[in-house]
């Protein structure tokens, strides 16, 4: 490992927020040991006007609604959206009820308002690196259902995607 010279001092504190402009943020000011840089990280998602989401599913919900609206607005005239289907992998820490709630709240006043959200959770599958068996993993233990070894390699599990939209024609 090359070790030449010393590293310049870094004394920066960044306050990251997802909103622009900065409002309603309580800033904890350090003493003069730190140079404080208030960074308003520009929002890419037009629907996100608030602070960084604190509930996991609200962050995902924002991405979901944005994706749905983007797809819908490809069509002219704007179709009536009936249902949205989302696929969630078995390792994902998404609580379906929370995502349903987030979607309902976040889709209000958008072209996606009133649509249903269907969440499909994929069973977690894996392959045993000892004996080659492929099958379902029963969380939280990653054990081969054939030889019993704790040698299961997961096949997927981290899926989180918008699968399809169901729209009403005409």
Partner 1 sequence: MTEIKVYRDLMGANAEWAEKTRALLAEKSVRMVNIIGSPGCGKTTLLERMAARLAGRVRFAVLEGDVETTKDAERLAALNVPVSQLITAGACHLEAKLVHYALRDLPLDVLDLVIVENVGNLVCPAEFDIGEEAKIAVLSVTEGEDKPVKYPLLFREAAVAVLTKTDLLPYLPFKLDACLDYLQQVNGELPVYQVSALTGDGMDALAGWLLNGRSIMR
Which of 78, 113, 139, 155 contacts partner 1 by CB under 8 A? 139
Q: For strand 152-155 and strand 125-128, is the pairing parallel, antiparallel, or unpaired?
A: antiparallel
Q: Which residues are registered as beta bridge partners of 127? A: 134, 153
SS3 for 109?
A: coil
Q: Which stretch binds partner 1 (CB under 8 A): 90-98, 100-108, 113-121?
A: 90-98
- Closer CB to partner 1, residue 109 or residue 140? 140
Which of 138, 153, 155, 156 contacts partner 1 by CB under 8 A? 153
> Burial of 103 by CB count in 10 Å (0-12 exposed, 13-18 middle, 19+ buried)?
buried
First to last CA, the chain: 65
Q: Which stretch binds partner 1 (CB under 8 A): 40-48, 100-108, 112-120?
A: 40-48
Which of 21, 26, 32, 97 contacts partner 1 by CB under 8 A? 26
Token representation of residue 134: 């492929």
Name the minimum Å distance from CB 6 to partner 1: 8
Residue 162, interface with partner 1 (CB under 8 A)? yes
Name the minimum Å distance from CB 138 to partner 1: 11
Please say whether the beta carbons of 119 and 99 come within 8 A: yes
């Amino acid at each position: 490992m090359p070790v030449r010279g010393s590293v310049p001092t870094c004394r920066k504190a960044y306050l990251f927020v997802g909103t622009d402009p900065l409002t309603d943020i309580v800033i904890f000011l350090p003493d003069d040991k730190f140079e404080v840089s208030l960074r308003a990280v520009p929002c890419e998602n037009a629907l996100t006007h608030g602070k960084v989401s604190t509930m996991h599913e609200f962050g995902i919900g924002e991405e979901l609604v944005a994706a749905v609206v983007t797809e819908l607005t490809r069509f002219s005239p704007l179709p009536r959206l009936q249902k949205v289907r989302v696929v969630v992998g078995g390792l994902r820490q998404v609580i379906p009820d929370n995502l349903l709630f987030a979607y309902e709240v976040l889709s209000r006043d958008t072209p996606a308002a009133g649509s249903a959200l269907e969440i499909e959770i994929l069973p977690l599958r894996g392959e045993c690196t000892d004996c080659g068996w492929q099958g379902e993993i029963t969380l939280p233990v990653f054990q081969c259902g054939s030889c019993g070894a704790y040698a299961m390699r997961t096949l997927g599990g981290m899926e989180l995607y918008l699968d399809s939209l169901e729209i009403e024609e005409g």
